[in-house]
Chains A and B, each alone.
Chain A
Amino acid sequence: MKLGAYFAYAKKTFLGKSAYRFDHLMGIFSTVLQFFIFYEIYRALYGTGKSVDGITMSMVTTNFVLSLGLSTIFSPNDYFLPGRIWDGSISTELLRPMSFKGRMIAENVGESFFNLLFKFIPVLLIAIFTTGMEKPAGALNMVLFVVSAILGYGVLFTISFLVQMTAFWLINIWSLITIKDVLVNVLSGKMIPLWFMPVWMLGVLKFTPFASIYFTPVEIYLGQLSGRETLIKCLVQIVWIVIIFLIGNVLWNKGQKKLVVQGG
């Protein structure tokens, strides 16, 4: 299928987002607010102290700016598949020439690009001018940060993809998606920087993909990792993307068969 078609699809999503300008401004406001809450909490926690376990207030601030910022760009539509199963349009959707999965990504890319321009940048500017943030540890760090951030998006997207596949059997998966969001929020460093998690929790997190979403890019940005560590963590991100996607794909195929058997 021509790349042009996917681009058109992404553009359609991009334009569709603009229909509700009030909503949009409120979305920015909401993220900025969330950021300030964390900032104030840690300011109170730090009090007069300069650093805790070698982590300065400014590093904490950077963690929040980046993770919250990235989360405004990367918000997969968790109901892309479930919505179409619910209203029955899934059968006609699967008959279209464009690959369903391809469309899922194209739509999200369109949305993400919109968010990048009109949500992330405003949020970033406001956060920097009011609280200050660390500069990237180096030009290379900046580049690798972008790469790692995109990989982190891949992890988040495949997680959403995997959870969505369960809709073939459960139809109504609101509860599962909510629980997924809880896990991502708590364990990705977005609400509590992973430096402050108890050691046992960090041990558990090694077996989960959550730290790969936002925290790895943040660590790279701040120059916390050696060259070797950076490479390893990026590889870990890629490995998670592959594993989760493969599992999701198995469910996708099984789900398709189920649809055919039931007659859509």
Chain B
Amino acid sequence: MSFIEVNNICKKYKVSKRKSGIPGMVANLFVPKYENKEAVKNISFSIDKGEMVGFVGPNGAGKSTTIKMLSGILYPDSGSISVGDTIPYKQRKEYVGRIGVVFGQKSQLQWDLPVIDSFELLKAIYSVPDDVYKKNLDRYTELLDMSKFLKQPVRQLSLGQRMRADIAAALLHSPEIVFFDEPTIGVDVVGKENIRSFIRELNSEDKVTMLFTTHDMQDIEKTCNRLIIINKGSKIYDGTLDGVRKLHGSSRQLDVFFANDVSVEPIPNVEIAEVDKRHSQLIFDGKKVHINDLMSHLLSTYNVKDMSIAEPDIDSIIRKIYSKEKVA
């Protein structure tokens, strides 16, 4: 039995429909219309202790709803969730004391007060013993480099600083599971790296289980070993990052630069886009077209000055996956 077990969960929402313009306005004053939206359709997965899992999907895919159910805020309409021997939405108070949640877009710190005041408040809320609190506080302050701004009001912090403080805040009570929702959004490159290495250390040292929902694929590449892709309420991929790359990473882009004006003749299975008279981009599936054959064909037919080949990045792979149906 895994640590986190999610079995066939489903969730529907009621959304109000409104027509536009003046007739719609008058109509809506008297008869409001609603429609059902299926946010989560039969999702199942299991996560072991200490795993770092990334949840990826377009907006409205059902990620946040799934996370809310995992954190105990929502009941699933059907199906079940269990974490260890606890059911999140049935034993809220006991459960949430063992998890931490970081919302990148919404801080849980007191806006007008020094960071340390918020930490002390959280210490009281979570009943953290003095020694544990001190140990965690010292450790996080050092690892996240917070000593400079611990005493500053939150409203004076830069986004990167605030994010670090929010992460520390979510970890003060030594949770077993941490949920991260867009934890590096808006943070600069250095800040992002600092946060990611902190997360990696926490996972390897303390075996904290971590779940990430994010649009930043680099976050996932640098921290997670597992990826779950959700689209339109269903799980369409559950595996490693390499696995994703292998499935769809065969697309290639070849940029060719010519010594004179050239119009490239059509080639089977290759998309040709002319950038200008001396530069064309050839896009093809590496499994269908051998790069050797293509390059030798070009070299022998035209006067080639330069060539460069590019691998698709994981972002475009994911985007392609969104637009398709279920992945193997």
Chain A residues near B (Cβ < 8 Å): 15, 18-19, 21, 24
Some 13 contacts from A to B, beta carbons below 8 A apart, are A15-B21, A15-B22, A15-B25, A18-B25, A18-B26, A18-B28, A18-B29, A19-B18, A21-B28, A21-B29, A21-B30, A21-B32, A24-B29
Known: A18-B25, A18-B26, A18-B28. 10 other contacts (CB 8 A): A15-B21, A15-B22, A15-B25, A18-B29, A19-B18, A21-B28, A21-B29, A21-B30, A21-B32, A24-B29
Report the Cα distance A15→B32, complex, angstroms: 16
Q: In chain A, what residue has the closest Cβ to B18?
A: A19
The residues of A that contact B29 with a CB separation of less than 8 Å are 18, 21, 24
Q: In chain A, what residue has the closest Cβ to B32?
A: A21
Nearest Cβ in chain B — how far from A247, in angstroms? Answer: 34
Chain B interface category by residue count? under 10
Q: In chain B, what residue has the closest Cβ to A15?
A: B25
The contact string, 1 if C-beta is below 8 Å from chain A, for chain B 21-58, is 11001101110100000000000000000000000000
Report the Cα distance A24→B21, complex, angstroms: 18
The residues of A that contact B25 with a CB separation of less than 8 Å are 15, 18
Q: In chain B, what residue has the closest Cβ to A21?
A: B29
The residues of B that contact A21 with a CB separation of less than 8 Å are 28-30, 32
Nearest Cβ in chain A — how far from B14, in angstroms? Answer: 17
Q: In chain B, what residue has the closest Cβ to A118?
A: B29
The residues of A that contact B18 with a CB separation of less than 8 Å are 19
Q: Main secondary structure on chain B at its contact with chain A?
A: helix
The residues of A that contact B30 with a CB separation of less than 8 Å are 21
Chain B residues near A (Cβ < 8 Å): 18, 21-22, 25-26, 28-30, 32
Q: In chain A, what residue has the closest Cβ to B21?
A: A15
Nearest Cβ in chain B — how far from A111, in angstroms? Answer: 14
The residues of B that contact A19 with a CB separation of less than 8 Å are 18
Nearest Cβ in chain B — how far from A11, in angstroms? Answer: 9
Q: In chain A, what residue has the closest Cβ to B20?
A: A15
The residues of B that contact A24 with a CB separation of less than 8 Å are 29
Report the Cα distance A19→B16, complex, angstroms: 12
Report the Cα distance A15→B28, complex, angstroms: 11
Report the Cα distance A18→B20, complex, angstroms: 11
Closest 5 CB pairs of A and B: A18-B25, A21-B29, A15-B25, A18-B29, A15-B22
Nearest Cβ in chain B — how far from A1, in angstroms? Answer: 24
The residues of B that contact A18 with a CB separation of less than 8 Å are 25-26, 28-29
The residues of A that contact B26 with a CB separation of less than 8 Å are 18
Nearest Cβ in chain B — how far from A175, in angstroms? Answer: 18
Report the Cα distance A15→B18, complex, angstroms: 12
The residues of B that contact A15 with a CB separation of less than 8 Å are 21-22, 25
Report the Cα distance A117→B26, complex, angstroms: 13
The residues of A that contact B21 with a CB separation of less than 8 Å are 15
Report the Cα distance A98→B26, complex, angstroms: 29
Report the Cα distance A21→B21, complex, angstroms: 15
Nearest Cβ in chain B — how far from A189, in angstroms? Answer: 33
Report the Cα distance A174→B22, complex, angstroms: 34
Report the Cα distance A24→B25, complex, angstroms: 13
Nearest Cβ in chain A — how far from B169, in angstroms? Answer: 26
Report the Cα distance A18→B22, complex, angstroms: 9
Count chain A CB atoms within 10 A of each CB in B25, B26, B28, B30 and give the residue with the most.
B25
Nearest Cβ in chain A — how far from B25, in angstroms? Answer: 4
Nearest Cβ in chain A — how far from B34, in angstroms? Answer: 14
The residues of A that contact B22 with a CB separation of less than 8 Å are 15
Count chain A CB atoms within 10 A of each CB in B18, B21, B26, B29 and give the residue with the most.
B29
